[in-house]
Structure 1
Amino acid sequence: MELDYHGIVIIVGAYGSGKTEVAINLALAMKQRGTEVRLADLDLVNPYFRTREARYVLRSRGIDVVLPADQYMHADLPILTPEVSGMLKMPAGLTLLDVGGDDVGATVLAALADFLKGKTPEVLQVINPNRPHTDTVDGCLKMRREIEKSAKIRITGIVGNANLMEATQAQDILDGYDFARRVAEAAGIPLRFVTVPAALLTRMDKRSIQCPVLAIKRQLVPPWMKAESLDFKSQI
């Protein structure tokens, strides 16, 4: 089972769910497969760990990154560039939108309603059961409803991103997969894929995971840590 995404894909989720790391790694994985990728940073509420922090590595891999103007790069302001509307009007390859956390961050999508009209974007809710407010199925469903109401758009799939940062173990991934499967079933939408830290891929039995897997190499890290080197040969 391989990841294969084209068209418009929108990444949403709770604060701390790891949605931006998912967006970055999905962009890199699809680019490696030869897909043209454009990634827009629409996180307009959280000043930390946004796509823009990884813009250099993304661009070095040939990914087109759409960001706020330089003078607003570190601002917490609701600024949408014409490039964003342009990439939605004429999507090519994979057009990824990394949206801010919770229902507050998702309100930016309501402003893009006219540009999304007539399109059928894939809207993926990233969930991490090891984070507050999404540690239960009901919590994830509540978050889904709140995001949909603010964004005025329907979530179409679930992404399981169970991790405890560098302390993540294989059992955490397997438990997280089971949790994500139950959330997807309760929501009546597909579980699109789960993430696994790349270093764990060769050390766990993946036969229990009946969906595609995205290998994650952390690019958004605190100043005292170094981002992981990029090598997606272990992608499954």
Structure 2
Amino acid sequence: MQIHIKGLLVITGNYGSGKTETALNLAFNRKEAGIDVAIADLDLVNPYFRTREIRKSLGEAGVKVILPEEKYMHADLPILAPEVAGIIRQPSELLILDAGGDDVGVTVLAALGDALSRQTVNMIQVINPFRPFTDNVEGCLKIMREIEQRSKLKMTGLVSNSNMMEHTSPDDIYRGYELICKVSQQSGIRIEFITADTRLIPMLDMNRFECPVLPIKRRLAFPWN
């Protein structure tokens, strides 16, 4: 199964969900599929895992990257590039907005309310079942409601990102899929895709999934590496 996502896409998730890695890999994946892709880094909360860290690789791949001005590149202040609102009004075939984690991080989306209100917006929640607060259905739904309230947008899709770094096993991917199926059933929100590290792809029984699988290659490094 192939991923068929186009238009304006907001990627959210709680801290440690892997939403930025998901956003980056989705951008590379869709560009390789021949889609015109742009990505905007709206993560103004997390000072380490940001799309801006690999802007050169994205640019070389042909993905347009919208970032703060160079002098503000490493600031931890709520700085939005004016270009963000502009590209929202005239989005690429796929425009990915990498929003900050949790409800606080997505507050910036409310500031873009005027531009977003004129577009059809898809917002997906990245769920890692091995992180606090998203290891059960109730926790996932609670975070979903909080994100919706602060962003003033409705969640339209779900993504399972079962990730225990290098310790992740095929069984962990299956467990994450089972959880997100339950979240989907209770919320009525569709599953867009699940992720799996490239090393695990050959080990997985794809017949167990009724959704696409996005291969994940780690793009971001830990700040202490």
Please, what TM-score do these two structures have when normalized by structure 2? 0.98
Distance, in Å, in 2 between the alignment partners of 1:224 and 1:111 is 33
Aligned to 1:181: 181
- CA 1:77–1:224: 2 relative to 1, 3 Å: closer
Aligned to 1:11: 11
Distance, in Å, in 1 between the alignment partners of 2:50 and 2:215 is 19
2:66 matches 1:74: no
In the alignment, structure 2 segments of 5+ residues that lack a partner are: none
CA drift at 1:118: 2.9
Distance, in Å, in 2 between the alignment partners of 1:193 and 1:212 is 5
**Counterpart amino acid of residue 170 in structure 1:** P
Identity of aligned residues (%): 52
Distance, in Å, in 1 between the alignment partners of 2:122 and 2:4 is 12
2:60 matches 1:60: yes
SS at match of 1:186: helix
**Counterpart amino acid of residue 155 in structure 1:** M
Distance, in Å, in 2 between the alignment partners of 1:58 and 1:42 is 16
CA drift at 1:223: 5.3
Distance, in Å, in 2 between the alignment partners of 1:153 and 1:204 is 34
Aligned to 2:36: 36
CA drift at 1:202: 0.8
**Counterpart amino acid of residue 42 in structure 1:** L
Distance, in Å, in 1 between the alignment partners of 2:97 and 2:149 is 18
4+ residue stretches of structure 1 with deviation over 4 A? none
Distance, in Å, in 2 between the alignment partners of 1:224 and 1:102 is 24
Distance, in Å, in 2 between the alignment partners of 1:207 and 1:224 is 39
In the alignment, structure 1 segments of 5+ residues that lack a partner are: 226-236
Q: How does 1:41-120 map to 2 (within 5 A)?
A: 41-120=41-120
Q: Deviations over 1:30-73 (max 9, x none)?
A: 00011111000000111011111111111110111111111111
Distance, in Å, in 2 between the alignment partners of 1:190 and 1:6 is 15
Distance, in Å, in 1 between the alignment partners of 2:92 and 2:23 is 17
Please, what TM-score do these two structures have when normalized by structure 1? 0.93
Distance, in Å, in 2 between the alignment partners of 1:214 and 1:224 is 27
Distance, in Å, in 2 between the alignment partners of 1:224 and 1:148 is 33
Q: Deviations over 1:166-214 (max 9, x none)?
A: 1110110011111111111111110111001111111121110110110
**Counterpart amino acid of residue 156 in structure 1:** T
CA drift at 1:103: 0.4
Count how many residue pairs are aligned between Structure 1 and Structure 2: 225
